[in-house]
Amino acid sequence: MGKVLRLAALAVISSVSMAPALAGAPAGNPPPPAQAQAVLVGYLGQEEPPRTPLTFLAPELRDEGVQGARLGINDNNTTGRFLKQEFRLVEAVVPRAGDPAANLATKLGELQSQGVKLLVADLPADRLAQALDQPAAKGMLVFNARATDDVLRNEGCRANLLHTIPSRRLLADALAQYLVWKKWNRWMLVAGKYPEDQAYADALRRAAKKFGARIVEEKQWTFEEGNRRSDSGHTTVQSLVPTATQGDDHQILVVADERDIFGEYLPYRTWSPRPVAGTHGLVPTAWSRVTEAWGATQLHSRFEKLASRWMTQRDHAAWVAVRAIGEAASRTKSTDPEQLSAYIRGPEFELAAFKGQALSFRAWDGQLRQPVLLAGERMLVSVSPQDGFLHKTSVLDTLGDDQADSKCKLTR
């Protein structure tokens, strides 16, 4: 309803501002329509082989991220037409073939040559760091819409880098707050062998210490799952998981499996009857199809009409990045990239994103402060920050790196 009223108000303002010009125009000779001012938004992704989902119920995603950016452009233009503003998405995808660094430099150079100064980067952490090192990126405001790595918000932070995707620490803190609120303070941690699994596990360890929980035992998943689609696959898993999860008494099992290799096997098969949370089970995430509050069904509907699938966390992060640019253009009545960048990073910026609170960027590390959804398989379980966790400026800053904890040395 608030969005509808705001659009109506903009329409009234637009019609009133045009009235003097129309009154002074000769009869039968109306003035030519004003030319819309264009705002170019770049999107930089990379070509990747599709990931085979663990279950046939999940789609094989080939367009994750970019569809969120496209919807953001559509939404910006819905509002922008009242202000004579037009938003255009300039898409670039780094091919897999050839030298990755050279391909990245080429695509960034192409975006720069087209006048792009506002860029949504849908890249993993290593490629994002390479992109930011390119001369073409120095004059751009870059929105990280994919990499959750905490180093990008700390030692690897950049003056021209903002993060619309939550960091691993932010997600882990959101989960930890809920578990502590539930008084589930004794955790068993099961982590995969890959670097991203270990990074997620580190975030969970930090969150447990921060909020007073205790990891009573840690396990690393070293088993080969075998072919789950074979006739005896479920029997193998059924005998394997209890052995892997046997240990000290705990109230919940937290799992770190970002590659989605084994985490889905854990619920209902653990040695002790315990709930599962983390990358699987109860999942902390920026966005989920199960959320319906705060008008989220409107966003779901628009996205599904555009992409013929559900919106993922990466899609939402790209959408938020593009919408942040649109909100800045609307508030400043400007299409100048420098002015938009300054407003987005300033203290007055706020963005509504169907999450119940206004979102803004932290001045010390560029992270978007935002509520985190705690999503079950078919229902939203909770939203963090939880009641009772206080902060002197914003309860959203109880999640992730607060200013005193940040190792980002940049000043804005």
For 105-155, write each residue's pLDDT tens digit.
Answer: 999 999 999 999 999 999 999 999 999 999 999 999 999 999 999 999 999
Q: Is 255 helix (H, G, I), strand (E, B) or coil?
A: strand
Instruction: State residue 229's pLDDT score.
Output: 52
Give the span between the Cα atoms of 102 and 114, in whole angstroms. Answer: 19
Render 93-108 in DSSP notation, one character per residue. Answer: EE-SSS-HHHHHHHHH
All CATH 3.40.50.2300 domain ranges in the chain, comma separated = 9-16+34-166+288-370, 169-285
Q: Which long-range contacts (CB under 8 A, 24 or more apart) does 2-11 make?
A: 2/352, 3/352, 7/78, 7/79, 7/82, 10/79, 10/82, 10/83, 10/330, 11/82
Buried b (16+ CB within 10 A) or exposed e, 265-293: bbbebbeeebebbbbbbbbbbbbbbbbee
**The domain defined by 9-16+34-166+288-370 carries CATH number 3.30.70.890:** no
pTM for the full predicted model: 0.89
Surface-to-core class of residue 201, CB atoms within 10 Å of its CB (0-12 exposed, 13-18 middle, 19+ buried):
buried
Q: What is the pLDDT of residues 249-294, one digit of tens each?
A: 999 999 999 999 999 999 999 999 999 999 999 999 999 999 999 9
CA dist list (Å): 280 to 191, 197, 261, 267: 12, 12, 11, 9
Check if the beta carbon of residue 173 is closer than 8 Å to that of residue 211. Answer: yes
CA dihedral 69, 73, 74, 79 (to 10 degrees): 140
Angle between helices 313-332 and 66-80 (to 10 degrees): 20
Sign of the CA dihedral running 218, 313, 297, 352: positive
CA dist list (Å): 137 to 132, 324, 348, 369: 6, 19, 26, 24
Rounded to the nearest 5 degrees, what angle is found at the Cα of 203, between the Cα atoms of 200 and 204? 90
Give the span between the Cα atoms of 372 and 175, in whole angstroms. Answer: 9
CATH class of 169-285: alpha beta
Instruction: State residue 240's pLDDT score.
Output: 86
**Can you say how many angstroms the Cα of residue 254 is from the centroid of all Cα atoms in its chain?**
22
Sign of the CA dihedral running 361, 363, 364, 366: positive
More confident residue, 11 or 71: 71
- Residue 393 carries which side chain, given as an amino acid letter? T
Mean pLDDT, residues 191-220? 97
Range with lowest mean pLDDT among 15-24, 121-130, 146-155, 311-320: 15-24
Share of the chain above pLDDT 70, in %: 88
Give the span between the Cα atoms of 398 and 170, in whole angstroms. Answer: 9
Structure tokens at 337: 């990239």
Check if the beta carbon of residue 40 is closer than 8 Å to that of residue 90. Answer: yes
Q: Quick one: pLDDT band at residue 230, thresholds 50, 70, 90?
A: low
